[in-house]
Structure 1
Amino acid sequence: MSATATPTPRTATAPASAATGAPRTRRRAAPGLRRAGLRVLALAVLLLAWQGAVWAELWPRVLVPSPGDVWEAVLRTSTVHDGVRGQSGHLLTEHLGASLRRIGIGTGYAVLAGVPLGLLIGTVRPLAVILEPAVSFLRTLPPLAYLSLLVIWFGIDESPKIWLLVIAACPPVAAATAAAVRTVPAQLLEAARALGATPANLLLAVRLPSALPEIMTGVRIATGIAYTSVVAAETVNGVPGIGGMIREAQRYNQTDVVVVGILAIGLSGVLIDSALRALERAAVPWRGRA
Structure 2
Amino acid sequence: MTASTADAAPPTPGPPTDTPHTPARAPAPTPSRLLALLRWKPLHWAALRLVALGVLLAAWQLVVVLEVWPRVLVPSPGEVWHQFILTSTTHDGVRGYGDHLLIEHLAVSLRRIGIGTGYAVLFGVPLGVAIGLLRPVAVVLEPAVTFLRTLPPLAYLSLLVIWFGIDESPKIWLLVIAALPPIAAATAAAVRGVPRDLLEAARALGARRWSTLGGVVLPSALPEILTGVRIAVGVAYTSVVAAETINGVPGIGGMIRDAQRYNQTSVVIVGIIAIGLSGIVLDALLRGAERLLVPWRGRA
Q: Normalising by structure 2, what TM-score?
A: 0.87
Measure, in 2, the Cα distance between the counterparts of 1:195 and 1:236.
56
Match in the other structure for 1:97: 107
Alpha-carbon offset, residue 29 of structure 1: 7.6
Is 1:244 the equivalent of 2:254? yes
Alignment of 1:118-197 (within 5 A): 118-197=128-207
For the pair shown, the structure with the greater C-alpha radius of gyration is 2
One-letter amino acid of the structure 2 residue matched with residue 86 of structure 1: G
- Which residue matches 2:59? 49
1:6-45 correspondence to structure 2 within 5 Å: 30-45=40-55
Structure 1 residue matching 2:109: 3-state secondary structure: helix
CA distance in 2, matches of 1:157, 1:265: 22
Query: SS of 2:41's equivalent?
Result: helix
Indicate conservation of the 8 Å contact 1:107/1:226, yes or no: yes
For residues 63-102 of structure 1, what are the structure 2 equivalents within 5 Å? 63-102=73-112
In structure 1, which of residues 109, 115, 118 is the aligned counterpart of residue 119 of structure 2? Answer: 109
d(CA) in 1 for partners of 2:84, 2:287: 28
In the alignment, residue 175 of structure 1 is paired with which amino acid? Answer: A
Please report how far the alpha carbon of residue 30 of structure 1 lies from its aligned counterpart in structure 2 after TM superposition: 3.6
C-alpha contact 2:124 2:183 (8 A) present in aligned 1: yes
Instruction: Identify the residue that residue 207 of structure 1 maps to in structure 2.
Output: 217
Amino acid at match of 2:206: G
**Post-superposition shift, 1:31?**
3.2
Q: Secondary structure at the match of 2:46?
A: helix
Identity, % of aligned pairs? 74
Deviation at 1:37, TM superposition (A): 1.2
Partner Cα distance (2:187, 2:297) in 1: 16
Match of 2:242 in 1: 232
- The answer as to 2:290 corresponding to 1:280 is yes
Indicate the residue corresponding to 1:22 in structure 2.
none
Deviates more, 1:218-227 or 1:27-36: 27-36
**Preserved contact between residue 111 and residue 173 of structure 1 (Cα < 8 Å):** yes
| Contiguous gaps of at least 5 residues in structure 1 | 1-26
Residue identity opposite 2:277 in structure 1: L
Shift of 1:50: 0.4
- The answer for the alignment partner of 1:23 in structure 2 is none
Mapped to 2, the partners of 1:267 and 1:174 lie a distance apart of 27
How far apart are residue 39 of structure 1 and its match? 0.8
Secondary structure at the counterpart of residue 63 of structure 1:
coil
Counterpart pick for 2:227 among 213, 217, 222? 217
| Secondary structure, counterpart of 1:286 in structure 2 | coil
Q: Is the 8 A contact 1:88 1:248 kept in 2?
A: no
Q: Which runs of 4+ in 1 moved over 3 A?
A: 27-31
The alignment's C-alpha RMSD in Å is 1.2
Question: What is aligned with 2:281?
Answer: 271
What letter corresponds to residue 257 of structure 1 in structure 2?
V
Aligned partners of 2:38 and 2:44 also within 8 Å: no
The whole-number CA distance in structure 2 between the counterparts of 1:227 and 1:211 is 25
Shift of 1:28: 8.7
Q: Structure 1 length normalisation: TM-score?
A: 0.90
Letter in 2 for 1:243: G
Give CA-to-partner distance per residue, 1:7-42, whole Å, 9 cap, x none: xxxxxxxxxxxxxxxxxxxx6984311211111111
Structure with the largest fraction of helix: 1
* Separation (CA, whole Å) in 1 of partners of 2:45 and 2:229: 27
